[in-house]
Amino acid sequence: MSDVKTLRLASAQLTAESLEAFLTYQRTLLSALAASGDAQHATWAGRFAFAHGTALAESGLDALTQQRLKVLVSEFCGKRSAWLTVKQRAADAEAAVHQAKAHGRPVPEKEALILSRASAELHRLEDFSPFAARYGPEALELLRGRDLEVVTLHRELSRLEGSGGHLHPG
């Protein structure tokens, strides 16, 4: 338990204000990256550095706080994103099963398998007790209250960071 206590002391403390500042940082970063386009004279690293500086200034966060919040939010988003994906796949499978039954066709094996496993997987992904122990139940509640917004921003930035900076207008 002392390890969790130590980790909690070293971690960012999420408040409504710091969450809003971090989301402002992410929105501004996305906007600044999109506005910088694919300028041939600018490298991804240069574009990202400029966008990062702009986002820090707009959010009012210092670089250390932003990084600590990023770790906290990323941990939440990884698990919550997986939960949302499983939930969507289960809903899609349920619709396919319903459609098959409505048309007198056999239930597709893949969808039946997804549905048989989804409940246990969703239950496992709902367990945020290690997260709450590390960051506090207040942080968990703040993030859950805005989970779709938080996860959507996180996914978009992860996609950009993982693509090596190739922005694809949507």
**Residue pLDDT, tens place only, 118-130:** 989 999 999 999 9
| Residue 169 belongs to some domain of the structure | no
Spatial contact of 80 and 139, defined as CB atoms under 8 Å apart:
no
| Residue 25 belongs to some domain of the structure | yes
> HSE (CB half, 13 Å, CA atoms) of 69?
25
Number of domains in the chain: 1
The pTM of this model reads 0.78
User: What is the residue whose two structure tokens read 């990202």?
Assistant: 48
Extract the tokens encoding 153. Answer: 């921003």
Q: Answer yes or no: is pLDDT of 137 > 80.
A: yes
| Residue 167 belongs to some domain of the structure | no
User: Which residue range(s) make up the domain with 18?
Assistant: 2-162
| Residue 168 belongs to some domain of the structure | no
Extract the tokens encoding 108. Answer: 């597709």
- 3-class DSSP state of 146: coil
